[in-house]
Amino acid sequence: MQLTRFDRWLLESFVQETHVYTLSEPVSVPRGIREIPMPDTPGRRYQHHYVASSEGAANRLIATLREHGQMFSTQVVDRQRWYTPFIAPKGKSVTWRLVWIFLTCLGLFYATVFLRHLLTNPEFIKNLEDTIKLLKE
């Protein structure tokens, strides 16, 4: 299903984070970016791993790296949080799920009000009892 603007905003704000891999340490690391230590293994392509939770912080770091001609690679991944499947289910739109939940609740409310009205109507109860009596015979 196609994602709405609200779905994309939820993804960008709360689910996705940008991983930046560099060969050498940048001159300055902007606020909002944390460095993750990389294991010392042979054949490793990049030496430093940075994670930016917001798109703005990632863009500032990338601009700094480009300014100084440093080689880097980026990757956008989903955060491993408990709320990720609820905010961004794979291939589904949260907006349309909320719309269907709202419409279902609204329909159940009106059905309940209608049934309550019928069951408090003495004429309907009398007709229902007569119908049940007729069916039992």
* Alpha helices for the chain (secondary structure H): 5-10, 55-67, 84-87, 94-119, 122-136
Instruction: Provide the sign of the torsion angle of the four alpha carbons 23, 20, 30, 37, taken in this order.
Output: negative
pLDDT in tens, 48-96: 999 998 899 999 999 999 999 999 999 999 988 998 888 888 888 889 8
Full-model pTM: 0.71
pLDDT confidence of residue 105: 98
pLDDT in tens, 114-132: 999 999 999 999 999 999 9
**Three-state secondary-structure class, residue 117:** helix
Q: DSSP letters of 19-43?
A: EEEESS--S---TTEEEEPPP--TT
pLDDT band at 1 (very low <50, low <70, confident <90, very high): low
- Amino acid making up residue 48: H
